[in-house]
Chain A
Amino acid sequence: MTMSAVHPAPTPPGEDAAAELRDVHIGFRSGRHVTPVVRGVTLRLLPGRVLALVGESGSGKSLTSLALIGLLPPGAEITSGSVVLGGDDTAGFTARQWREARGSRVAMVFQDPMAALNPGFAVGRQIAEPFRRRLGASRRDARERAVALMREVGIADAETRYGDHPHEFSGGMRQRAVIAMALALGPSVLLADEPTTALDVTVQAQILRLLARRQQEAGLATLLVSHDLGVVARMAHEVAVMYAGRIVEQGPLDAVYTRPAHPYTLGLLRAMPDGKEEGGRLTPIAGLPPDPRRPPGGCAFHPRCPFATDVCRTEDPPLAGSGGRSVACHHADEVRAAHSGPDSAAHGAPQSGPHSAAHSTEEDR
């Protein structure tokens, strides 16, 4: 294993990861120029555990998950590092090997179930397809297994709904069907990219419950990609916070949420209107995420960071830590100190500092 003190194993070493990213860099190529969008991500997905990857649009969280299933969009490529599935380095995978791995070893649930389903075919047939094509099951057998699977994911009247097309399903039912398809071949790794973002809250609660139950029962190693800190709190055992293509903080859910050590994590928690009180002011993070084509020097967060000092402008801090908790910040101790106690996530003591960003509404860089 290539992991050094710079990239400490976030979970007890020794346990075998179902999937792993080792110092993965992903960039978009245009001509000879490569724009880096994921800059050295190391993650281990363990059986029966849910790891959440949290970040805002453009942070690189979706590309990170797509790399695990060999589905990077055209133009994006892994420029260094390795993606390991159940012990096998996928660097040499042929298109055929990836096809075989998808579904049986690693599966994915996307945000928009309508886009994941073919509108021209009956939903049941799409769920049955992997049994036919991959396991060589008979038509009748595949149908029976698909109906059983539809029941398992909570589609009522599975027998009669087998022949319905996606447009005849509601959003929640479609996402159930997509989950059924993902689980059909019994993968050991499940990637869920914003699985409930397109759904209403009461339906979201149903789907989160279903995902958690299936994840537990099948002992799935799960990567949950989400921008929603509440959804993550409901599902994940461990959290990795991404900013501008890097993991800036990682650790057990409770530790990261109640004792954030990176100013970006602290900022996200403070910006949430989750306080159990009405009114008052939120504390937004000033400014905008950086343009990956023109990254700021040093720590990528420094232009928005109230803790930034000279060292932050010149040196990109490594992700370092111990005991399953790691953070990439020169001022992690100050951030911890600024955050007082478990219940002050959204209303902590006001930050002070030479570049206090709290009052600024200016977004432009």
Chain B
Amino acid sequence: MTATAHDTAAPAGDAEVVLRAAGLEAGYQRPGRHGFGRRRVPVVAGLDLTVRAGRTVGVVGESGCGKSTLARAIVGLIPAFAGTIEFAGTDLASLPRRRRRRVARDVQMVFQDPYTSLNPRMTVAAVIAEGWRVHPGIVPRDREDAEVARLLDLVGLRPEHAARRLHELSGGQCQRVAIARALALRPRLIVCDEAVSALDMSVRAQILNLLADLQAELGVAYLFISHDLDVVRHIADEVAVMYLGTVVEQGTAEQVFGDPRHPYTRALLSAVPSVRDRPDDAAREIVLEGEVPSPAAPPSGCRFRTRCFMAAERCARDVPELIVREGTAHPVACHFADADTGTDTDAGTASSAR
């Protein structure tokens, strides 16, 4: 396996668009008023997202922000309430069922916990080959064993692993199998939903390197969803920060992590413990009070305003659009994105630290 870093990927802008979601709404339904009818609760509430070939888009946010719902809607596990999802220029919703399945092959998913997302009693070979039953014609039957061996090699396992059952493997090895299974269908996009979150730290680094190697070798794109900002910062080319179903800030990893403009992004980044922290300097962080509101009853105007340390009257009235604003180089959904953020230290002490 070549060990080139993923900086060999094509620069943003000119690579082909693999996935484009526009105005996407998805969520769950619950009984309507007095038990009549159904009411849609959009957990993802109008979201635009573009992923280009061979690139990694990271989605960060906390529980309830809708990042897993986004993943599920994109791979078609749940229907979208509104908006479009395009793969390589084709709107999925407009396709008849059979054609949709053909397109859906191009996007695969790797889940957080391989022990629950894969059948532990199946052999590794059967897990990897399962997709070829659903999508015939990718690999001829007589070539399957050889293809399984090739995929195992690709993800750093040995040919003899093919006959093992998943419960005999470690968590890191299972996650390699899950990646091999996704790759078996030769997808153009892999949605990784907390794909390394359940792994021990030494093994996590192995899998992150593997994902980078595979991208350099195969040109596959990732939509990498994680609550772990350090991991996303490491692996992603572009980053979208989600809060309560919408993207509040978007840009290159360098822009979002190096020059965060949305107050939520700033709070999130300051809250992440780093090995460089020390017990006595914890006062630097921006502490958000309160909790994420319910997606069934989002606040008016800016959805973050109820916890925002910069909130003003206007924020309850006007929904801030996700646009490039004066003084920012990347899209931010905040009326005050151009406010002088100063250093992290100033922001923390000035506005929020108790």
Q: Which residues of A contact B (CB under 8 A)?
A: 50, 56-57, 170-173, 200-206, 208-209, 212, 227-231, 233-237, 253-254, 257, 267-269, 271-275, 278-286, 288-289, 345-346, 359, 361-364
Contact of A201 among B156, B161, B227, B276 (CB under 8 A): B227
B6 located at the interface, meaning its Cβ lies under 8 Å from any Cβ of chain A in the complex: yes
Contact B275–A272 (Cβ < 8 Å): yes
Query: Interface size (B, Cβ < 8 Å)?
Result: 54
Hey, what's the 0/1 contact readout for B49-76 against A, CB within 8 Å counting as 1? Answer: 0000000000000110000000000000
Contact of B257 among A57, A267, A278 (CB under 8 A): A278
Residue of A nearest to B232 (CB): A273
Question: CB-CB < 8 A to B205: which residues of A?
Answer: 271-273, 282-285
Interface on chain B toward A: helix, strand, loop, or mixed SS? helix
Using a CB-CB cutoff of 8 Å, which residues 257-284 of chain B contact chain A?
A: 257, 267-268, 270-279, 282
In the bound complex, CA of A157 to CA of B148 (Å) = 58
Most chain A CB inside 10 Å of its own CB: which residue of B200, B201, B267: B201
In the bound complex, CA of A236 to CA of B3 (Å) = 37
Contact A278–B233 (Cβ < 8 Å): yes
Question: CB-CB < 8 A to B209: which residues of A?
Answer: 281-282, 284, 361
Contact B227–A200 (Cβ < 8 Å): yes
The 5 closest A-B pairs by CB, nearest first: A230-B273, A284-B205, A361-B156, A273-B234, A200-B62
Hey, what's the 0/1 contact readout for B76-89 against A, CB within 8 Å counting as 1? Answer: 00000000000000
Contact A233–B275 (Cβ < 8 Å): yes
Contact A234–B6 (Cβ < 8 Å): no
B172 located at the interface, meaning its Cβ lies under 8 Å from any Cβ of chain A in the complex: yes
Chain A's nearest CB lies how many Å from the CB of B235? 8
Question: CB-CB < 8 A to A50: which residues of B?
Answer: 279
Could you show 13 A-B contacts with beta carbons less than 8 Å apart?
A: A172-B291, A200-B62, A202-B267, A203-B291, A209-B287, A254-B278, A271-B202, A273-B235, A278-B234, A279-B5, A283-B205, A346-B275, A362-B156
Contact B279–A212 (Cβ < 8 Å): yes
Contact B208–A202 (Cβ < 8 Å): no
Contact of B234 among A237, A275, A286, A361 (CB under 8 A): A275
Hey, what's the 0/1 contact readout for B1-33 against A, CB within 8 Å counting as 1? Answer: 101011100000000000000000000000000
Question: CB-CB < 8 A to A280: which residues of B?
Answer: 5, 234
- With A278-B234, A278-B254, A288-B172: A56-B202 Cβ-Cβ less than 8 Å: yes
Contact of B288 among A202, A236, A267 (CB under 8 A): A202
Contact of B5 among A202, A257, A281 (CB under 8 A): A281
Contact A231–B172 (Cβ < 8 Å): no
Contact B275–A201 (Cβ < 8 Å): no
Using a CB-CB cutoff of 8 Å, which residues 215-262 of chain B contact chain A?
A: 227, 229-231, 233-236, 253-254, 257
Contact B253–A233 (Cβ < 8 Å): no
A172-B291, A201-B62, A273-B235 provided; 15 other pairs, C-beta below 8 A? A171-B63, A201-B268, A203-B291, A205-B273, A209-B287, A212-B279, A231-B273, A271-B205, A273-B205, A279-B7, A280-B234, A282-B205, A361-B1, A363-B156, A363-B173
A-B contact count (CB 8 A): 152
Question: CB-CB < 8 A to B170: which residues of A?
Answer: 288, 363
Question: CB-CB < 8 A to B208: which residues of A?
Answer: 273, 282
Chain B's nearest CB lies how many Å from the CB of A200? 4
- With A273-B231, A274-B230, A278-B254: A56-B275 Cβ-Cβ less than 8 Å: no
In the bound complex, CA of A50 to CA of B282 (Å) = 15
Question: CB-CB < 8 A to A278: which residues of B?
Answer: 233-234, 236, 253-254, 257
- With A205-B287, A230-B273, A284-B209: A268-B279 Cβ-Cβ less than 8 Å: no
In the bound complex, CA of A345 to CA of B277 (Å) = 13
Contact of B274 among A227, A230, A235, A281 (CB under 8 A): A230
Question: CB-CB < 8 A to A274: which residues of B?
Answer: 230, 274-276
Chain A's nearest CB lies how many Å from the CB of B304? 12
B212 located at the interface, meaning its Cβ lies under 8 Å from any Cβ of chain A in the complex: yes
Residue of A nearest to B257 (CB): A278
Most chain B CB inside 10 Å of its own CB: which residue of A170, A202, A271: A202
Contact of A233 among B231, B278, B285 (CB under 8 A): B278
Chain A's nearest CB lies how many Å from the CB of B197? 11
Contact of B279 among A202, A235, A275 (CB under 8 A): A235
